[in-house]
Amino acid sequence: MKILLDTHAALWYLNEHEKLSQKALSLLLDDQHEQYISIVSLWEIAIKVSIGKLTELAGGVSELIAQINVTPMELLQLSPAHVEIVESLPYLHGDPFDRALIATAKHENMTIMTTDDNIQKYDVSTIW
């Protein structure tokens, strides 16, 4: 399975947070599954750090990228095809970062690892 981590799931995984479910953790530790984090999530994190909404990430995005580089997680770029899919998504959820993740997952045939009920409203595979 190709797993695209939602922003919160990636942060919890990289920081060994207790909010990460046992099922999610076991999937991420199983090397049969490919793990991805979108550049969109890094952009969202950078904004939250810059406005003071994400204070527990001491080193900011630079530290997060360093952490990603020592995991099996791959950084996934946003493509024009992903943006085109955003345009066709029903407007069930206004968060532009989540909408970009949904479009990415749809185009790349990925499952989104998330607790976000709004993402689960879309025709996209999710797990937690």
- 3-state DSSP call for residue 102? helix
Token reading at 106: 């749809």
pLDDT at 13: 92
Per residue in 42-97, pLDDT tens?
A: 999 999 999 999 887 778 899 899 999 999 999 999 999 999 999 999 999 999 99
CB atoms within 10 A of CB 53: 9
pTM for the full predicted model: 0.94
List, for residues 84-116, the tens digit of each pLDDT value. 999 999 999 999 999 999 999 999 999 999 999
Residues across the chain: 128
CATH number at residue 39: 3.40.50.1010
pLDDT of residue 55: 83
Look at residues 126, 101, 105, 125 and name the one whose alpha carbon lies nearest to residue 115: 126
For residue 119, the model assigns a pLDDT of 97
The alpha-helical segments, DSSP class H, found in 6-95 are 7-14, 22-29, 39-50, 60-69, 80-88
Q: How far is CA 100 from CA 69, 77, 79, 104, 116, in A?
A: 22, 11, 10, 6, 14
Crossing angle for the helix pair 96-108 and 80-88, to the nearest 10 degrees: 110
Question: How many distinct structural domains can be found in the chain?
Answer: 1
Q: Do residues 99 and 87 make contact, with C-beta atoms less than 8 angstroms apart?
A: no
Report the pLDDT averaged over residues 30-50. 96
What residue numbers bound the domain in which 85 lies?
2-127
For residue 76, the model assigns a pLDDT of 97
pLDDT, residue 118, reads 96
